Structure 1
């Protein structure tokens, strides 16, 4: 390499000279270049400029931890492969091989609990499995020398280490590469208990309440950055199909990353106590405890509290999170009067008396209060005393009434009453002029018949989010009043068969829709047999060009694709069912430049193959097709970013050509295919042929693809996923 990297006088070359020399050296050569652990798009620009496109069949392989960088490097003619975690069987085999040196060794009974715990925490990531295997092997060797025989190993599960050194060294670059403000937001997540699953919106509101972020948009950008770097991942079983989509899924942080963040908090001088790590009373010294999180009985935390019998020390606490079966006697809530964030989601011991205690404790700084998924049944009138409250989450509780006094919370911006028996909102809600987000009802199931909203809600002119409104318990006048909320960006409604045939309701919704010029998300849950065809007649000037999500579920049907979809450059999510699909409609979908998720129900039997060509669908990553007869053909080069393909099929005849599906092996980036059908069609020839065709084409594909049939993964060797480190992207380009 010296002839490339050194100048004539023996000095190191500058960047431009190095680029020229590399280009000249490789100009007439066929080359294979491997670039490992790329972090920045700008670095790729420099590297790629030095690699000549000489049409000699050269290859470039890039690995990166950042998904956006992976896509950037293959934006022209490259392919991206996201390495998946190991499946359950391979994870066990790797751990067994690493601990005992053989895959044929039988696990000792006393280590099976340790094995299961290790695999649960490692989540199929080989690096973590190997590291924990080294630690476990070291523990067992020590016991062997202490007892003289493996038969004498103690039965207790070993105490798991806090954080292995090699894990810290590997995780640090991901943390260090983040902007400073993102690091602060990430450190707050160290308070999460192990295995904690969270909603994106609730986390962002905690960030804002704590003053860690100035706006929702800024915090959302940070959250997306953490997803891009795989710091935050979907909270799904890694060995099940990924049926969740980003809009409604829950998220989690890996166990070892939580450990790493807890240590970083110490380095930053924060004093905290959580389920991941609780400083001893001696280690705390004179530090002021700011963040406190507990989700299970903790002896160290109990000791810390008992040492500080004078709870004035905890007047410095600004964030308190309690969940699980934690003893309520340890936390006299009325003493934590300077809290800003109080998160009691899932606290099994929380009662109505505790709710009254909070409201009577003069927590004048409290901005965020969540009693989600607790046993509380009543919201006291004294809730009005929490005068600084901005977010109140009572979802998934048995609270059946919102007292009118709650409407005196003049700063309240977000109220969540979803999955509660609340049937009626008080008339005084019109006074809550600061309200930005109102979440009610039980989307789609109609358990309580919907929550009645007073017509005066039209006074909330700054409302951004309203979901889910059951129009069956609302007047047409209210639907008209909704049109006055010109700042509305997200709306979810249920639409019954009666209203879809009521002309006044149709005209009211049609008129309101034209006024929501800033609307970004519209979800309509239609009753059985309901038709929303009247929405197809919107004029171009009567729609929101900012629309990012359009979703019609339940029995809602369109005769054909709404023509006003054309030109919606921001539309990224579409879920819709149509009674026919003509070439022009497919062309509209194909040319939506931002479309990432398409769930398309075809309520008809195609008479010819639906051909997906090479052009269009440039950003589509998830495609869900619901059709009894999935006569689809994917042309070569089609849907180059598609990673997930789902088909919901029914009993159907075999097509004239003898094949119901073709071209899955032309989907260059697909990594998962899922097929769903009713078990009563198990012997249907069309269903059998569809599954056989999918398996055959997947077996011929160059990439490893997971195939799920009714939620069960194929275990044939043709479909076993290639093992790798979760989140590392690989890209290959042809030069």
Structure 2
């Protein structure tokens, strides 16, 4: 129910904006809005309280009340937005007499429409005030119900993770190798053998962190230590109880009655420290959820130089980092291998623990693929199938199709969902909304980070606070990173162009799909009947039909789309996309990947009537042509036309005053007047050779943060040198730029930029692609690399330049450099302690010259990049013998063995 709370925040802001903008509101309406602005925060606080209680423990009356509040907040926001759309339309004055006459006729007819919008607002206010009165009436019982539910939960709820602590080690699969790895980390000969050392196990819920920690504890606690304790703390721990549990674990006889004594926190910490003062101890703190909790617990562990060891487990990356002195102390849980997954699966289903019948082999592979090596998922699905008396391929196929989209059977399935729901319920309301929205994407989909963040922004999930300096996209990045940090979303290795992708584990998708249905947050129409489109008011619709037969068109034809705020279409369901005229309050239209050129071309002619639209995603549609009237979309913020094959952008696009982000193709010609887009933060796919006017106008787009351009300037436009100079001047005026990407398909020098450009203070990424180059290290880097405090991604190429030690020293001074892609023929020996932050490295170098100058011998110095995790090395083999290529490759492989991270290396 906290999703409702997350959705109410933008409504509060809009009501405030409405009061300030519309002095013409009648007295009753103004008074109602002012009253509502006082009532909504109280209701918001109540929804936060409701959200803290698992849905199954909520009083049905309270649950119904929260549902009404959520739906009402949607309706009210729609009414306010509809009113503001009318105001926006009337605020644009026509330019000539003929248009003014038309405007007058339209205005008189719209008085009734505007009145209708106001009546909707008034009706919503009345409904909200009724709900506020209900809250007053229920408040006393509401509070008691909540506390009672929590108490009941504490008394009767069984934590399903407890079972993993008492497994017979012989039942465990894949545990021996992990146990050895963890023990090796604990006792690594790194000079700290006698000091207190903490190792943190981090990973996704259900990977077996607790199981592994317990296996290690049981194996070494008695043989290597004087005493030990294993304590699980959970999401909302009682700190005093944690210390009492530690004491009881250390000496059960001495502290037999500790839980019945009243002691304050300081007394308990002192007691733990006193007990451990002269002992060698091994303590495991399982399931830590926040950094502050660890700081408090850690106070109890004294340093006595006896080789003490502590293991923590957590789902949250930042917590694991807080627990350890360095990243070398973090143990990242990995999924089970394919063989171990099969073994675990078969042991749960077949009594002999051996392979399954031949007719079930293929469907088993599909099930295990969806389980993704997560032991909890494998055990859950296997237990589900083990209960079937008759094992048919049809039965197993039904289970396979249901994974990720709504397993409903109980038992261990409930246990699995409960474990995952711990992470979900720990999220703040706005992150709940962001996560639940990801259920619009199909399973196994790799989701573009920027697409996800911009759709969050378009729907108001990401909000700026007063005096907030960060842009909405930067706030959206924080949300994205926090979901990664909490292990709810998996970051997929980014591509060659450093674009980030993410995905959801199928079990997380199952959880959020189920919650979305309960909350009426996302409605999905797909092939397996998991359709929630029969809800009276569909708010967000995802069309994921793979099989576009006639039976799938029927439910779609009967759905009322007038309340839909977000519509996402899958490429395979392009023929089922409904007429856009049926959407009345649509804010997000995401058709990315729906290829219009492959037949089944849905009409876009009604797009100009989607007045509420904030996000229009046509990437990869190859639509070829845009309808007229796009300038009417006054609220449009994100316009994505990459790979849409649009040759020329309509001139009225320059009227989109709220446009923040525009993606086009390099083939797309832009109209004059793009400098009017004062709110633009991202311009991508701009060929400056096709848009010489934009070169001059860029300096007016002062809020620009990302710019992706093609730098191919033909001499016939005007003086090539002059136009390049104008571009550099314009770029130097854009002080907020943090990402600049340049593509060139012609061999040309960018030295004019290297010498004259002044890099903005917050530059994070500079990437050069294609055939353009610098003939020497750019002045904007050499001038003072220490001032480029945020430059973390650098992709740069040189023409024939042998980079010397001084050049590498300059690059090594960049304080935040994490990703480096370097094209230079030779001499790229990386010195000791150079580039301490670099995690990913792309190198392009010549085998012949590496042999000649001897730089291959120490493996290019890769062993000196202490944070390196992955390196791609492209070896140009021109004029090199096979034996010489093998010699260089062997030296690079030696660098991996000598590196503390044992980074991954890819040779091209």
TM-score normalised according to structure 1 size: 0.75
Map 1:19-30; keep pairs closer than 5 Å: 19-30=269-280
Check if 1:589 corresponds to 2:811.
yes
Distance 1:583 1:39 in 2: 46
Q: Hey, what does 1:53 align to over in structure 2?
A: 303
Contact 2:584 2:610 (C-alpha < 8 Å) held by counterparts: no
Map 1:544-559; keep pairs closer than 5 Å: 544-558=760-774, 559=776
Check if 1:459 corresponds to 2:657.
no
Contact 1:458 1:482 (C-alpha < 8 Å) held by counterparts: yes
Map 1:563-602; keep pairs closer than 5 Å: 563-564=782-783, 565-578=785-798, 579-601=801-823
Check if 1:202 corresponds to 2:451.
yes
Q: Would you tell me which structure has more helix in proportion to its own residues?
A: 2
Distance 1:270 1:496 in 2: 47
Q: Secondary structure at the match of 1:143?
A: coil
Contact 1:574 1:598 (C-alpha < 8 Å) held by counterparts: yes
Structure 2: any 5+ residue segments left out of the alignment?
A: 1-246, 408-412, 464-471
Deviations for 1:661-713, whole angstroms, at most 9, x for unmatched residues? 17766766655555554688996334323433444454566767655555xxx
Check if 1:386 corresponds to 2:604.
no
Q: Secondary structure at the match of 1:289?
A: coil
Q: 1:397 to 1:62 in 2, by over 3 A?
A: same
Map 1:169-568; keep pairs closer than 5 Å: 169-214=418-463, 215-235=472-492, 242=493, 244=495, 247-268=498-519, 272-275=523-526, 287-296=536-545, 311=559, 313-326=560-573, 328=575, 331=578, 334-347=581-594, 355-356=602-603, 359-360=605-606, 383-402=607-626, 405-442=629-666, 450-475=667-692, 478-496=694-712, 502-538=720-756, 542-558=758-774, 559-561=776-778, 562-564=781-783, 565-568=785-788
Contact 1:292 1:321 (C-alpha < 8 Å) held by counterparts: yes
Distance 2:375 2:259 in 1: 47
Q: Hey, what does 1:158 align to over in structure 2?
A: 397
Contact 1:682 1:688 (C-alpha < 8 Å) held by counterparts: no
Q: Hey, what does 2:114 align to over in structure 1?
A: none
Contact 2:608 2:628 (C-alpha < 8 Å) held by counterparts: no
Distance 2:495 2:416 in 1: 29
Contact 1:452 1:473 (C-alpha < 8 Å) held by counterparts: yes
Q: Hey, what does 2:882 align to over in structure 1?
A: 684
Q: 1:337 to 1:93 in 2, by over 3 A?
A: same
Q: 1:684 to 1:221 in 2, by over 3 A?
A: same
Q: Secondary structure at the match of 2:629?
A: helix
Q: Hey, what does 1:447 align to over in structure 2?
A: none
Distance 1:123 1:44 in 2: 30
**701-710 or 591-600: which moved more?**
701-710
Q: Hey, what does 2:322 align to over in structure 1?
A: 72
Contact 1:496 1:526 (C-alpha < 8 Å) held by counterparts: yes
The Cα shift of 1:27 comes to 3.6
Q: Hey, what does 2:63 align to over in structure 1?
A: none
Aligned residues: 632
Q: Secondary structure at the match of 2:787?
A: coil
Q: Secondary structure at the match of 2:434?
A: helix
Contact 2:581 2:609 (C-alpha < 8 Å) held by counterparts: no
Check if 1:611 corresponds to 2:835.
no
Q: Hey, what does 1:129 align to over in structure 2?
A: 378
The Cα shift of 1:519 comes to 0.9
Contact 2:877 2:885 (C-alpha < 8 Å) held by counterparts: no
Q: Hey, what does 2:137 align to over in structure 1?
A: none
Contact 2:817 2:838 (C-alpha < 8 Å) held by counterparts: yes
Map 1:703-714; keep pairs closer than 5 Å: 708-709=906-907
Distance 1:30 1:321 in 2: 58
Contact 2:523 2:531 (C-alpha < 8 Å) held by counterparts: no
Distance 1:189 1:548 in 2: 27
Q: 1:231 to 1:694 in 2, by over 3 A?
A: same
Distance 1:303 1:424 in 2: 36
Greater relative CO, 1 or 2 (CA 8 Å, sep 6+): 1
Distance 1:6 1:301 in 2: 70
Contact 1:322 1:343 (C-alpha < 8 Å) held by counterparts: yes
Q: 1:685 to 1:211 in 2, by over 3 A?
A: same
Deviations for 1:593-645, whole angstroms, at most 9, x for unmatched residues? 333322223x1321x843131x762x43322232235xxxxxxxxxxxxxxxx
Deviations for 1:453-509, whole angstroms, at most 9, x for unmatched residues? 33432233332211121123233x542322222221111111237579932123212
Distance 2:593 2:447 in 1: 12
Q: 1:264 to 1:415 in 2, by over 3 A?
A: closer
Q: Secondary structure at the match of 2:285?
A: strand
Distance 2:876 2:485 in 1: 36
Distance 1:8 1:422 in 2: 73
Distance 1:589 1:60 in 2: 38
The Cα shift of 1:61 comes to 3.0
Contact 2:595 2:622 (C-alpha < 8 Å) held by counterparts: no
Distance 1:611 1:26 in 2: 44
Distance 2:851 2:490 in 1: 41
Check if 1:34 corresponds to 2:284.
yes
TM-score normalised according to structure 2 size: 0.61
Distance 1:184 1:705 in 2: 36
Contact 1:191 1:276 (C-alpha < 8 Å) held by counterparts: no
The Cα shift of 1:276 comes to 9.2
Q: Secondary structure at the match of 1:503?
A: helix
The Cα shift of 1:528 comes to 4.2
Distance 2:542 2:258 in 1: 62
**256-265 or 664-673: which moved more?**
664-673
Contact 1:321 1:342 (C-alpha < 8 Å) held by counterparts: yes
The Cα shift of 1:394 comes to 2.4
The Cα shift of 1:545 comes to 0.4
The Cα shift of 1:181 comes to 1.8
Root-mean-square deviation over aligned CA pairs: 4.0
Structure 1: any 5+ residue segments left out of the alignment?
A: 145-152, 236-241, 361-382, 443-449, 630-649, 711-735
Contact 2:830 2:862 (C-alpha < 8 Å) held by counterparts: no
Contact 2:614 2:635 (C-alpha < 8 Å) held by counterparts: yes
Q: Secondary structure at the match of 1:388?
A: coil
Deviations for 1:80-125, whole angstroms, at most 9, x for unmatched residues? 342333455554455456555788x555331122122113212233
Distance 2:839 2:589 in 1: 38
Distance 1:488 1:309 in 2: 42
Deviations for 1:522-578, whole angstroms, at most 9, x for unmatched residues? 111133432222223347xx4310111111121232212532443011222211124
Q: Secondary structure at the match of 2:768?
A: strand
Distance 2:314 2:626 in 1: 50
Distance 2:516 2:609 in 1: 33
Which has the larger Rg?
2
The Cα shift of 1:209 comes to 3.2
The Cα shift of 1:175 comes to 0.7
